[in-house]
Every structure is written in C-alpha cells, then in structure tokens.
Amino acid sequence: MGHPIREWVIEKTLKHPKRTIVVSLFLTIMMASGAQYFVIDDDMMKMLPKNMPSRVAWDNVMEEFGNTDMVYVTFGIRDEKGINPKMLSSLWDFTRALEDMPEVEKVTSITTTERLDSEDGFMEVSDLQYTRDLYPEEVEDIQNYLDNNENIKKQLLSRNEDYLNVVIQPVKKAPFDVLSHNVKNLGNELLSDYETQYGGAAYITGMVPGLIRDDVAMLMRAGMLIMVLILLVNLRSVAGVGMVLMTIVLSLVFMLGFMGWVYRLTGSEKFLFTMMNTSMPIILLTIANSDGVHMIAKFFKELRKRRNTQEAVRVAMDSLLIPIFLTSITTSAAFLAMVFAPIEQMIGYGISISAGILWAWILSSTMLPALISLKKWKMDSKAVTHASIFEKGIDILAKQVAKHPKYILTAGLFLVSIGGFGVTMVEVDVNFSSFFKKGTELRDGMDFMEEEMSGTMDVRVRVEGDIKDPENLQSLIELQNYMEEEPKVGMSFSIANMVQQMHKTIMDDDPKYETIPDTRGKVNNLFTMYSFSGDPDAFESLVDYDYEVGLVTAMSKTLHTNEILTFVKGIESYVIESFPEGLSAMVTGMAVVFRDLVFLIVKSSLISIIVSIFVIGGIASLFFRKLHWGFLAVVPLTAAVILNFGFMGIFDVKLSHITAILASIIIGVGVDFAIHYIAQFRRYSRDRSKYDNLSRKVIDDVGYPIVLDAASNMGFGALLFSAFVPIQYIGGLMVFAMVSTSLGTLTVLAAMTELLKKKIIEQ
Amino acid sequence: MKKIILFISFLTFGMSQSGVEIAQMVDDRATPKDMTSSTTMVLTNKKGKTRTAKIFSKSINNNKKQIMWFLSPKDDKGVAFLKIEHDDKDDEMRMWLPAFKKIRRISSKKKGDSFMGSDLSYEDMSSREINENTFTRLDDELVDGVDCYVIEAVPNRDLRSSYSKHKTWIDKNLIMAVKEESYDRLGNLKKIKSFKNELVGKYRVMAGIFVKDVQNNHTTNITFDDLKLDTGIKANLFHEKNLKRLPRN
C-alpha cells in the first residue's frame, strides 16, 4: 500500500483520464496565453547590476560625457584612395542620415570634424568638410590638413587611407540592438557601392543577443529532431515519443506564458527574455524530457511483463511519482537559489524555469499517464515485446558494476581527481571576438577593424581635478604616453591634446608650441579664444562644463580579460605614483564593466552551484530520512561538475558567462539521475529476496531510462555547429555532461551504494 | 517731432503697413548715440549647469562699434573684444588675450558661430539691414497681452546667413521687438529670443535678452545694467590699443 496522496493521484488520473487531459490542457493554455505579454529584450546593458562599483563609475562618466560605447563603421574600396569626392559625398549623406536617428547623439567623421587653422594668429575653427560636393582642390585641402594632423587622421581614416571611418556615439540608454540594426540598414542603403564593415562595443552588444538566439533556435530545432530520432529508435513507438514530446512542448509554452504573465502583472524587467535566458528552453527541454522518458520507459517495461495497459501505467506511476516529484522539487530549489544572484535577469530566470519544471512534473505525473492509459497499445509491437538496444547494453553494465564495484569506484575517483586538477587551469575570458568563428560576418568585421583601425575597444580614465591647471594637463599627456606603451593601444586622446593643438595654432602654427602652456591664464585664454569661433559643445565629450572632470580615452585592439586586468591595474598604479596632488583618476569603460560582470556571473554561478548542491542534498536527506542519502544524491552531479570544469581547464575552453550556465544543466539533469537511482535502490532494498542482486536490479530498472534520457539530450550536440564559439562549447560540453552524469550515476553512485549497502540500507 | 511723425504714420497707414514698412519703423526708432552698460551673461547648458560672465561694454552708432572688457569669471578677466561693422567691407573683430599679451583677429566669415559660448552668434549681434532681407507681414498676435505686429524676415541669398528666416513680434506701441524665432538653413526652429525693454531717459532700450537654442537645449540670459546713454563716447575709443586696459568708467 503506497502513500495516500500518491494513491489518490493514481486513482483520479486513471479513473478520469480524459478529464485529466482536458484540465491539463486548459490550465496550460490559460498560462500560455501570457505569451502575448512575453517580451524579448536584447539590451545587454540591463544585465549589469546597477550598484556594481564599476557600473556606478561608468554611469557617472556617461552622465558627464554621454555614452562611451560606440558603433564604428568603416567603408571604402581596398587600395583606392579614401579621400575622394565620391566617397566624401557618400560620407556626407551617411553622416547626416545617422544624425537624424533618434538613437544617435553624435557622429564623428570627416563630415562633422572641425579644423583648427591659424589665420593672422587667430584660431580659426571651421568645418573640415563644409559641404557635400567638393571641388578637387577642396578634397586635397582636407587631405593636407589630415596629413598635418596625424592623431585626427588616425581616427578618421584606415591605416592605408583607403577606408573612411565613422564613429557613432549613441544617446544615453540607447537600445543598442535597435541602433545597430538601424545603422546596418542605413549602411546597406547608402554605402552599397563600397565594402562596409561594422564594429565597436555598442554594435557587437547590440547584434550578438539576437544572432545568438536565432542561431540557438535553429540548432535547437535540429537538436530536438535528433532527440526525437533517438527516442524513436529506442522506444519504437511514435505514439510514445509523441506523448513525451507533448509534455515537453506544453511545459515550454507554460514557462514562456508564465514569464509573460509575471511581466504583465509586475512590470518587472527580471522577467524579460534576454540573451541570458537563451539557455532556458534547452534546460527545460532536458528536464521535461527526463520526466517523460522515465515514465514511458517504465511503462513499456511493465507492459512487457504484465501485458495489461492499466496495470502497467499504475505500476509505472506508483514507482515514479515520488522520484519525479523529488527530482522536480530539488531541481526547482536549485534554480530558485538564483534569486540571490546579483544579476536581476538571473532572478527571473530561476523563478520562471522553476515554474516550467514544476509544470513538467505535473504533466508527467498526470497528463502523460492519462494519455498512455487511453491509448490502445498493440501487445505484439516490438516496443512491447522486445528490449531496446540500450536496455541490452544496460544489462551488461549492471553485471560489471555488481561484480567490480571497487574498480569502478576507483576509476571514477581517478577521473574526478584529474578533473579537479583541470579545474585549477580554468581561465575566465569574455573577449567578444573569440565568440565568433572566423568567416562569420561579425568576426570578419572585427578582424578587419583590428587590422585597419587604431582600435575599436576603448578604455576610459575619468580624471578629477582642476583641468585648466597646466601641471594637471601635463599629467594627462604623460598618462596617455603610458597608456600608448601598451602595444595594442593605437592612440589616445584627451582635452590636453586639444590644448596642445590650440597652443600651436595661436602661436602661428609653430610646431614647437604644440605643448601645454606654462600658465593657467594662457590655458584659459585658449579656451576663451576657442569659444569665439568654435562650437561651445565641442569639448563636451572630453571635459565637463566646469573643467573639473576630464576623460582620457585609449583606443585599443581587442584586449582579452586577463590583458584588461593587467592594463587597468597598471594604469591604477601609474596614477597613484605619478599624479600630482589634487588630481585623481578612475579607470572605466565597457571593457572594465564587462570584466567585472563576468567575474560576478562566474562567482554567482559558483555560489549557486554550491548552494544548489547543499539544497539538493538537504531535500534528498529530508525525503529519504537519512543524511547519507542526501550525500549520495549529490555525488554524481558534484563529480560531473568537477569533471566539466576540469575538462574546460584541460582543453582550454574559456569560462564565460555563457559556458558557466552549463553547470546548471548538469545539476538539473544530474540530480534527476541520482534520485531515480536512489529511489529505486531504496524501493528494491525493502525486498530482502533482491538483496544480493540489488545493484544489478536497480541498474537494470533505472539504467535504461537514464541512458535513454541522456542519449536523447545529446541531440543538443547539434549546438556544436553554431556560429558562436561559446554555443559550440555548450554543445560539446552538453554531450560530455550527459555522459558524465548518466555514467556517474550508473557507475560511481552504483558502486558506492553497492559497497555501502550493508550500512545504508534501513533495518 | 519723430514721435509725432510716427503717430501720424500709424494713423495714416493703420493696419495696412507692409513687413518692410514695419521693419523700417523699427529701424527709424529713436536710439541713443552711445551706450555704456554692465552686462551679465548667464549660460545654462542642457544639464542645467551655469556659467556667468560680467562684461563692461561701450558702443556707438547703434552698436555698430562696440568694445567690451570681461570682468569675471576670474579666468576671463582682462579678455577684451572689439567689433566694428562696415557697410562696404567685412566687419572687423579683434580680441585681446592678456595671458599671451596678444591681440588676435576674429574672422568675419564666422558670423554664424557662437559668441563666447553663448547662444548668440556674431550674426545675432549684428544689425539686420533692411535691404539685405525680404520682409513679409504675418497676422498680428498678442504676446503676454501685448498687441504685436508679426513680420518674417528672409535673408537674401548672397548674405550667406546661417538662418533661413526670422519671425519677429514687434510691440505696436513701442515699435520694439519683444520676441523672435530664428530658423536654421533647413527651416527648423533653432532659437527663440525674448527681449526685455526699459525706458532710460528719453529712450526705450533693450535691457535684457533671453535666448534658447531649442536644438541644443542651451540658454543664455543677458541683462544690461547701469545703462548710461549719450555720454559722449569718442569714436577713437574703438581701437585695438584700448582693448589692453579696462577704462575707469
């Protein structure tokens, strides 16, 4: 006699299968109707915690100087001179059209650049390109001016001067995804005669989430197809596979509807579907698949034995309702641990996926058995009469584990210790260029810009002090020199450069005066003179209105996370040692913020892994009423997590915010396997007649659905064909995770329980 | 006598004046021969931050010759500016940079540029010649309860103005502008100016201007204090050598 609640569920489900199905479908549709409020948001900036110190500093910089993350566009024809009338006309049209975009604050190109000339000693500020269509001599004049001002030329032209550069500063809080798409569409329209490349942090962060999601969506379909094929080959029943698939799909739409409703009712941005949530459907798929596969596999096994559908469903339900409930509760609890994450989207992620997991549990425990019970199964079909390939293979494994538990445990521990060694070699990197395979449009654009431009990655130093003080201005120049010593830094600029240029101009263009003047009065006179001719807002991206805060910018080729760390540390040390009293500095910029964000994600992922393991262990101990069951439940997944990170370390797979989420999949699936194993182990251990062959019996019983579940989830190996390197890693590591968690359960856990069975089995 | 003529003209023409006639009336309005003032200029940027400058200035010929010395902020003290408008050649503009001890010429080509970072350009500060613009009268309107003529001035093409047109509200009683909108070359509204007028002695003169650049969301508020009119300022004051020292009064 089972637990009264379990009995009640079995009774109601099997007595009223149609009602069960209708109620399940109705409730799913009700929740799924929230999908109309489901919002996809590709704004990666929302991922950044608002109180993260580098984010606060960055926000301050943006408040003072506007957005510091740019979109770079470069266009031209290779080996043809970039400064020519036709290209300048195209540049004019493109620049003016960009300026009309609501997402654009400022455009820097030859069209918008001001030139400083000395005329009779007066500092004449005028437009470098004053109109769209220019005479050849005017074009030559622009070329000459740039030849005499190398630093400006570096910003506006490519290395070989065959491409023209356009730098687009977005407005504050501009949605980078909208901006990037609009800029690209405009480029396609106006620059179709040229080879055009796009890049910059704002562009990449704007384009990547959508591209990754589209890529993952396409590969997920392929993954699901493979999953269905594997299930079909093993279950040999279209109806059986269809029922599992129905459970998965209904759980998915329930989860998406749930996100929509919560967003609609609370307005909380935590429930927006961002790049971070891309992995949610994959995780829910694997977990829902696990529940369904266990139920259907157990049903076929029992049907083969009993030749009676109702009886077989009843036994399958009786045997699996508790394990499926337990796996769902533990996995949900593990994901709910994400509510303590510092990134808001992770909170919504944890809550929403928990809702999906719990719904998958309800459907697998009620609707799926109801569907099975309604179907008239052919007793002579191969699905019923013959064991599948996996079932036969499991039998061999079961014999070996029962026979050589010590060897298997030793081999398992050896592998885990190698993994443990590999963990120490794991490196964190969030370099966007390494996200893309060579040959993809984004990577080619980035490589092109790396090669041709002075840099598309900017490191910003916010300096605070009296910016008109010559000593402070000189310190900025020296800081720039220090920054330019980094080989990847192509150029740097600050208000100090403008002061040098103005000084030279006012001193009749004498190059020996391209210096910081010796008195504050002179510096001030330069600014005053500029205000008599130039745009009063011309310096707003370099210095604040009160000349108390300045911004030093170094343009660099892509820096890896470790290089950013070293570079930033170097700048900070330099500032402490060399800056005069009264002048302070802080390094910021998207690169620095993302560095901190990645560490935060990795740190919070590691914390949530540890918390999850404890929560799972705690729940399992509580349910199985002994601490050692909780410990055993977390053994396979802990071993798999160690192996996963060890594998990453050994094969130089970088830990990023994308690869870090794999641990969640391992925990989600790994705990299922372990709990199914332990539940059956305890169930069989009550029967003294099965004591000697206990492990073999358990493996024989749960091994098949575990292996089938793992194998079908390996369909997500299709992610290996992604255009994005981290997604490829996820594909590869997913296959690895399935192998490690399933084998970990069926070997290490099985060997441990076999060796400890005398001690752990309740009297 | 001038007032009587104006009054008779008003009665004679009534509502039938054209735009150019109204502009001419404004131009013909009695003005002082010279003017001395202490000017306060407050600039406010789009973030609401302000900068204040105090300037001592003298002018003659309806501001066609003007010299100004900067008194504050401390950083700008001693900087001086001289402007002389010519009918037959380019205007002259010069400035004195005390720290460099140099006088520098400012190009007259740059009339659309901002003056001292304010929302007034050199063009805004120069006289608007009647024969260089085409005036059209629009429907009369009330501005803050004041009955106004409304005229539109379109600069002639050869003027190379930075504006496409100006729309000016003129107080019918005082024949002085109270408000003006200036449109950029693309026809978009660029600046809104409000004028404050004051009676000093026998003259109605401008006592303040508030300019808002609606495209940059930047404002400039100028007030003219201690106005002294017809004090007999000599023409030879408007020479670059006088930029170097601040006059006593």
CATH number at residue B138: 2.50.20.10
Q: What's the pLDDT score for residue A110?
A: 94
Q: Does B81 map to a domain?
A: no
In this structure, what token pair is assigned to residue B249? 């009064």
Residues A672, A675, A680, CA angle at the centre, nearest 5°? 125
Rounded to an integer, what distance in angstroms lies between the CA atom of residue B121 and that of residue B114? 4
In tens, the pLDDT along A128-147 reads 898 899 999 999 999 999 99
The chain A residue lying nearest B105, using CA atoms, is: A122
Tokens 């408007």, residue?
A: B238
Asked if B77 has any chain A CB less than 8 Å from its own CB, the reply is: no
Q: Is the pLDDT of residue B10 over 50?
A: no
Q: Select the more confidently predicted residue: A91 or A222.
A: A91
Last residue of a domain, one of A199, A227, A253: A199
Q: Is the pLDDT of residue A213 over 70?
A: yes
Which residue in A529, A547, A665 sits closest to A608, CA to CA? A665
Same domain, A145 and A218: no
Distances (CA, A) of B185 to A96, A656, B136, B163, B166: 14, 51, 18, 5, 11
Q: Does A542 map to a domain?
A: no
Q: What's the pLDDT score for residue B248?
A: 65
Residue A474's pLDDT band (cuts 50, 70, 90): very high
Q: Does B217 map to a domain?
A: yes
Distance from CA of A107 to the nearest CA of B (A): 15
Q: What's the pLDDT score for residue B3?
A: 44
Residue A361's pLDDT band (cuts 50, 70, 90): very high
**Pairing state of beta strands A104-108 and A71-76?**
unpaired
Q: What's the pLDDT score for residue A44?
A: 63
Query: Is the CB of A546 less than 8 angstroms away from the CB of B49?
Result: yes
Asked if B29 has any chain A CB less than 8 Å from its own CB, the reply is: no
Contacts of B121 in chain A (CB under 8 A): none
CA B57, B63, B66, B70 torsion-angle sign: positive
Q: Cβ distance A291 to A324 under 8 Å?
A: yes
Contacts of B79 in chain A (CB under 8 A): 525, 528
Residue A358's pLDDT band (cuts 50, 70, 90): very high
Chain A 551-580, CB below 8 Å of chain B: which residues? none
Q: Does A243 map to a domain?
A: yes
DSSP string covering B79-100, please? -EEEEE--SSS--EEEEEETTT
Task: Provide the b/e sequence for A268-285 (b: ≥16 CB within 10 Å).
Answer: eebbbbbbbbbbbbbbbb
Q: Does B76 map to a domain?
A: no
Q: What's the pLDDT score for residue B6?
A: 43
Domain of residue A168 covers 70-199
In tens, the pLDDT along A425-466 reads 888 776 666 677 777 777 888 888 878 887 777 888 999 999
Number of C-alpha atoms within 13 angstroms, CB side, residue A376?
0
Of A525, A535, A537, the CB nearest to B97: A525
Residue of A100, A516, A533, A547 to mutate, interface with B, max B Cβ within 10 Å: A533
Q: Does B34 map to a domain?
A: yes
Q: Is the pLDDT of residue B195 over 50?
A: yes
Type of residue found at A690: K
Distance from CA of A537 to the nearest CA of B (A): 8
Asked if A137 has any chain B CB less than 8 Å from its own CB, the reply is: no
Q: What's the pLDDT score for residue B9?
A: 45
The chain B residue lying nearest A121, using CA atoms, is: B104
Q: How far apart are the first and last CA of chain A?
A: 19
Q: What's the pLDDT score for residue A669?
A: 67
CA A573, A575, A581, A584 torsion-angle sign: negative
Same domain, A219 and A307: yes
Q: Does A712 map to a domain?
A: yes
Q: Which region among A148-157, A226-235, A238-247, A278-287 has the lowest average model confidence (pLDDT)?
A: A278-287
Distance from CA of B150 to the nearest CA of A (A): 31
Rounded to an integer, what distance in angstroms lies between the CA atom of residue A649 and that of residue A507? 60
Contacts of A126 in chain B (CB under 8 A): 109-110
Residue A329's pLDDT band (cuts 50, 70, 90): confident
Of A121, A519, A544, the CB nearest to B104: A121
Rounded to an integer, what distance in angstroms lies between the CA atom of residue A602 and that of residue A445? 29
Q: Select the more confidently predicted residue: B115 or A187.
A: A187
Query: Is the CB of A536 less than 8 angstroms away from the CB of B118?
Result: yes
Rounded to an integer, what distance in angstroms lies between the CA atom of residue A398 and that of residue A651? 32
Q: Cβ distance A654 to A434 under 8 Å?
A: yes
Same domain, A745 and A686: yes
CB atoms within 10 A of CB A510: 12
Q: Does B239 map to a domain?
A: no
In this structure, what token pair is assigned to residue A23? 């109620």
Q: What's the pLDDT score for residue B107?
A: 67
Structural domains in chain B (count) = 1
Type of residue found at B203: Y
Same domain, A242 and A261: yes
Q: Does A633 map to a domain?
A: yes
* pTM, to two decimals: 0.70
Q: What's the pLDDT score for residue B2?
A: 45
In tens, the pLDDT along A99-113 reads 989 899 889 999 999
| H or E element, residue B103 | strand B102-105
Q: Does A583 map to a domain?
A: no
Q: Is the pLDDT of residue B112 over 70?
A: no
Of A121, A123, A545, the CB nearest to B49: A545
Residue A45's pLDDT band (cuts 50, 70, 90): low
Same domain, A110 and A210: no
In tens, the pLDDT along A545-557 reads 889 999 998 888 8
Asked if A102 has any chain B CB less than 8 Å from its own CB, the reply is: no
Q: Does B151 map to a domain?
A: yes
Q: Does A628 map to a domain?
A: yes
The highest-confidence range among A156-170, A329-343, A389-403, by mean pLDDT, is A156-170
Asked if B92 has any chain A CB less than 8 Å from its own CB, the reply is: no
Query: How much is the mean pLDDT over chain A?
Result: 85
In tens, the pLDDT along B159-177 reads 778 899 999 999 998 889 9
Same domain, A95 and A220: no
Query: Is the CB of B51 less than 8 angstroms away from the CB of A545?
Result: yes
The whole-number average pLDDT for the span A2-31 is 90
Residues A598, A603, A609, CA angle at the centre, nearest 5°? 125
Q: What's the pLDDT score for residue A688?
A: 67
Task: Provide the b/e sequence for B121-138 (b: ≥16 CB within 10 Å).
Answer: bbbbeeebeeeebebebe
Q: Does B73 map to a domain?
A: no
Q: Does A111 map to a domain?
A: yes
Start-end of H helices in chain B: 2-13, 19-28, 122-125
Q: Which region among A195-199, A304-308, A536-540, B16-20 has the lowest average model confidence (pLDDT)?
A: A536-540
Of B43, B99, B109, the CB nearest to A521: B99
Of A517, A519, A533, the CB nearest to B106: A533
Same domain, A257 and A352: yes
Distance from CA of B169 to the nearest CA of A (A): 28
Residue B142's pLDDT band (cuts 50, 70, 90): very high
Contacts of A531 in chain B (CB under 8 A): 114, 116-117
Q: Does B86 map to a domain?
A: no
Query: Is the CB of B105 less than 8 angstroms away from the CB of A121?
Result: yes
Same domain, A753 and A625: yes
Distance from CA of A96 to the nearest CA of B (A): 12
Distance from CA of B26 to the nearest CA of A (A): 29
Same domain, A214 and A329: yes
Q: What's the pLDDT score for residue A516?
A: 95
Rounded to an integer, what distance in angstroms lies between the CA atom of residue A712 and that of residue A709? 5
> Can you point out the beta strands (E) in A208-283?
none
Q: What's the pLDDT score for residue A382?
A: 75
Q: Is the pLDDT of residue B8 over 60?
A: no
Query: Is the CB of A125 less than 8 angstroms away from the CB of B218?
Result: no
The whole-number average pLDDT for the span A15-21 is 93
Last residue of a domain, one of A199, A230, A249: A199
Distance from CA of B137 to the nearest CA of A (A): 33
Same domain, A193 and A217: no
Rounded to an integer, what distance in angstroms lies between the CA atom of residue A604 and that of residue A346? 10
Q: What's the pLDDT score for residue B1?
A: 43
Residue of A524, A539, A546 to mutate, interface with B, max B Cβ within 10 Å: A524
User: Considering chain A, what percentage of its residues have pLDDT values greater than 70?
Assistant: 94
Residues B45, B49, B52, CA angle at the centre, nearest 5°? 90
In tens, the pLDDT along A652-683 reads 887 776 677 667 667 776 778 888 888 888 88
| H or E element, residue B136 | strand B133-143
Query: Is the CB of B116 less than 8 angstroms away from the CB of A528?
Result: yes
The whole-number average pLDDT for the span A339-352 is 80
The backbone torsions φ and ψ at residue A485, rounded to the nearest 5 degrees and listed phi first, read -70, -25
Q: Residue A396 maps to which CATH number?
A: 1.20.1640.10
Asked if A519 has any chain B CB less than 8 Å from its own CB, the reply is: yes
Asked if A124 has any chain B CB less than 8 Å from its own CB, the reply is: yes
Query: Is the CB of A125 less than 8 angstroms away from the CB of B113?
Result: yes
In this structure, what token pair is assigned to residue B163? 């504006």
Last residue of a domain, one of A169, A199, A229: A199
Residue A265's pLDDT band (cuts 50, 70, 90): very high
Asked if B106 has any chain A CB less than 8 Å from its own CB, the reply is: yes
| H or E element, residue A613 | helix A590-624
Q: What's the pLDDT score for residue A73?
A: 93
Query: Is the CB of B107 less than 8 angstroms away from the CB of A525?
Result: no
In tens, the pLDDT along A623-651 reads 888 888 889 888 888 888 888 889 888 88
In tens, the pLDDT along A691-734 reads 677 888 888 888 888 888 888 777 777 778 877 777 787 788 77
Q: Cβ distance A353 to A282 under 8 Å?
A: no
> Residues near A3 by Cβ (< 8 Å), separated by ≥ 6?
A322
Same domain, A166 and A227: no
Structural domains in chain A (count) = 2
| H or E element, residue B35 | strand B34-44
Rounded to an integer, what distance in angstroms lies between the CA atom of residue A653 and that of residue A660? 11
Q: Is the pLDDT of residue B118 over 60?
A: yes
Q: Does A81 map to a domain?
A: yes
Asked if A100 has any chain B CB less than 8 Å from its own CB, the reply is: no
Q: Is the pLDDT of residue A158 over 80?
A: yes
Domain of residue B198 covers 2-56+115-231
DSSP string covering A276-329, please? GGGGHHHHHHHHHHHHHHHHHHHHHHHHHHH--HHHHHHHHHHHHHHHHHHHHH
Q: Could you tell me how many CB contacts below 8 A there are between chain A and chain B?
A: 78
Rounded to an integer, what distance in angstroms lies between the CA atom of residue A273 and that of residue A585? 37
Start-end of H helices in A507-589: 520-531, 561-578
Residue B7's pLDDT band (cuts 50, 70, 90): very low
The whole-angstrom distance between residue A627's C-alpha and the CA centroid of its chain comes to 36
Q: Cβ distance A753 to A681 under 8 Å?
A: yes
Distance from CA of B234 to the nearest CA of A (A): 26
The whole-number average pLDDT for the span A595-621 is 80
Which residue in B202, B114, B223 sits closest to A528, CA to CA? B114
In this structure, what token pair is assigned to residue A195? 């080879």
Distance from CA of A423 to the nearest CA of B (A): 50
Same domain, A755 and A648: yes
